[in-house]
Amino acid sequence: QAVKGERITHVFTTHTHMDHSPLAHPLADWAGAKVYGLPDPSRAHDQVSLEEDGEAGFMPDVLVKDGDVFTGPDWTLEAIFTPGHMSNHVCYALKEENALFSGDHIMGWSTTVISPPDGNMRQYFASLDKIRARGFSMLWPTHGPPVTDVTPFIDAYAAHRRGREAAIVERMKAGDTLIPDMVKVIYKDVDKRLHAPAAHSVLAHVIQLVEEGRVIADGPLTLSTHYRLAA
């Protein structure tokens, strides 16, 4: 009933996690439409996201790239490449309303999960800055309510992540070298059942710190490696 009297011509995917892309092709087949987005990136890594699997082998009918514009009778969408949560993440700007379909890049109820190897914290921060600079009036996330106070909302998410980064540095100053030990302190007030995904976010932060030369890894960039602050 939501599309009664309308014709679906485009099915846009933001990324290929299992709660997003699997129904795109069945919906498009039913409607006689095409699927737009980016393909499954897992073959670029030794393993897919540690936090949740992507849809293996997903391939859209039409590949999008940053800045592509798509139009319909009364709408205009621009694809905005926003890697971070996943390397193939795309948001879509609705020109007529100065609004953004933000996917999982910016969720309405919490910060998004950044889980290596496909999730990348450095790219996430860059993508936040990219969206902030556009000055959107409204965000339509795929999880959580719409966001109207866009700039303060983005700033709060960035500040939250920077706070986690600072806490990780403090744990290293205190002598912690293993991510599981850091998680026990940083997330001590969080349900222990969530410590495993929290560890993946800490790893994403640590990888960024290694890339910036602020932290040294004593082995491959994994959860079990020892890390220490650079001199």
Q: Using the predicted structure, report yes or no on whether residue 48 has a pLDDT greater than 50.
A: no
Whether 54 contacts 41, CB under 8 Å: yes
The rounded percent of the chain whose pLDDT value lies above 70 is 95
Q: What is the pLDDT of residues 177-187, one digit of tens each?
A: 999 999 999 99
The average pLDDT across 115-135 equals 96
- Domains defined along the chain, listed by start: 1-148 (3.60.15.10), 150-231 (1.10.10.10)
The more confident residue out of 208 and 111 is 208
Q: What is the pLDDT of residues 52-66, one digit of tens each?
A: 567 888 999 999 999
The average pLDDT across 79-88 equals 97
Look over the chain and give the mean of its residue pLDDT values, rounded to a whole number: 93
Nearest to 172 by CA among 206, 199, 122, 196: 206
Q: Using the predicted structure, report yes or no on whether residue 2 has a pLDDT greater than 90.
A: no
Q: What pTM was estimated for this model as a whole?
A: 0.91
> How far is residue 125's CA from residue 162's CA, in Å, rounded to a whole number?
10
How many CB atoms neighbour CB 68 within 10 A?
Answer: 16
Whether 141 contacts 103, CB under 8 Å: yes
Dihedral angle sign, alpha carbons of residues 108, 111, 112, 118: positive
> How far is residue 166's CA from residue 162's CA, in Å, rounded to a whole number?
6
Q: What is the pLDDT of residues 149-164, one digit of tens each?
A: 999 999 999 999 999 9
- In the structure, what pLDDT confidence band is assigned to residue 51 with cuts at 50, 70 and 90? very low
- The pLDDT score that the predictor gives to residue 57 is 86
